[in-house]
Amino acid sequence: MEYRTLGRTGIKVSPYCLGAMMFGAMGNPDHDDSIRIIHRALDAGVNFVDTADVYSQGESEEIVGKALKGRRDDVVLATKVHGGMGEDPNRAGNSRRWIVAEVENSLRRLQTDHIDLYQVHRPSPDTDVEETLSALTDLVRSGKVRAVGSSTFPASEIVEAQWIAERRGYERFRTEQPPYSIVNRGIEREVLPACERYGMGTLVWSPLAMGLLTGRYRKGQETDSPRMSFAPGRLTHERKLDVVEQLIPLAEKAGLSMVHLAMAFAVAHPGVTSAIIGPRTMEHLDDLLAGAEVTLDDEVLDRIDEIVPPGTDVDPGDVSYAPPAIEHARLRRRPAEERAAA
C-alpha cells in the first residue's frame, strides 16, 4: 500500500483510513469481532484509525484501545471531540473547559498516553475559535496530542482558524475531515482548495454516501437494510437514485463493483489524503480492501463529471453542518415590527 503525507505534518498515512463509528452499539456490538476487523485492516497495511468520543458514547474508543494493545506505535490514531457525552450541557462543544476534560477521558478509553490527531468534530458558533485553538495548543505542548484538526468546517471557518492561529501563535488545524463522495462533491468548490492552500491533510468521510454507492439501493426496489431507518431520506432521494442507475453501467463497463468505483473516485482527488472506510463486518472490510489498488482512468472520471458535475451536491439538503444563519429563521428575518413599519 502506498502511503501519503498527512498535509505538512510529515506523518505518513494509508489512503484508506479505518473509521470506527460502526464498532460498538451503533453498529457491531461484538467487541471481539470488532477487534478482529481492526487487526485485519492493520495487517493489510492500513495504519490510520479514526474514531470519536461520541461514537456509541465512548464504546468505540474503548474497542479501539483494546485492539491497539501491542500495536499502538504502528498506528496513526485519530479521535474527535464536540458531541454531547451526557445530559450536562457542558459535556459537549468546543470550550476549553470541555476539551481539556474530555481529552483525558479519550486517552483513558483508548489506553494511550497520546493522540496523534485530535479533531474538533463540528464548529461551535457559541465559542470563539480562539478559545478552542488555545486549548488545543496547550494539549500539543503538553505532549498529549501530536496534531489537531477540524471536521466538517465550512471553508470560511477553516480560513478564519488559520488566520487566528497565525496571529496568536497557536497550533493550527493541520487537517480537515469533510464529507465527500460522487454524490456529495460540494467540497471541491471551496473546502478542498482552502485545505490545499494551507497545506492541510484531508480525511474524507462517507465516500460510499452512507451506503448509497454500494449499489444495494435501486429505484423501484425495496430493501430491509438497517441503514434505511438510520437515514431513510438520504437513501431514497430520487435524484441520487437516478445517479446510481447511471453509475452502475459505468462501473460494469470498467469491470468494477460500485464500491470500488466509489472508493477509487474519493482517493483520486489530489486534495484528498485518505478516505475513511466504516466496515461493520469482516465481509464489508474484505470487499473494501480488495479494491484498494484500483485507479480510475480519465474516461471514467470524465463520465462521472457528466453524471454529477464537479463541485455540486446532488441533494443540496444533504449537509452535515448548517450554520446558524441557515438553521434559525430569526437570523434571516428582520423583527416583525421593523418589517411592518417598512
Using only the alpha carbons of the chain, give its radius of gyration. Answer: 20
Rounded Cα–Cα distance for residues 63 and 46 (Å): 17
Residue 306, amino acid: E
Asked if 202 and 194 touch (Cβ cutoff 8 Å), the reply is no
CA angle 270, 74, 289 (to 5 degrees): 55
234 grid coordinates? 438520504
Residues 6+ apart with CB under 8 A from 225: 211, 216, 217, 235
Distance CA 200, CA 273 (A): 9
Strand, helix or coil at 61? Answer: helix
3-state secondary structure 287-310: HHHHCCCCCCCHHHHHHHHHHCCC
The DSSP-derived string for 83-104 is S--SSSTTSSSS-HHHHHHHHH
Beta-strand runs (E) in the chain: 4-5, 12-13, 16-19, 48-50, 76-81, 115-120, 145-151, 175-177, 201-204, 274-277
Provide DSSP, 218-252. -TT-----THHHHSHHHHS-HHHHHHHHHHHHHHH
Give the active site residue among 3, 16, 55, 170: 55
Confirm whether 55 is a catalytic residue: yes
Query: What is the spatial distance between Cα 312 and Cα 324, in angstroms, rounded to a whole number?
Result: 22
Helix (H) / strand (E) element for 168: namely: helix 155-168
Distance CA 167, CA 239 (A): 44
Q: Which residues are catalytic?
A: 55
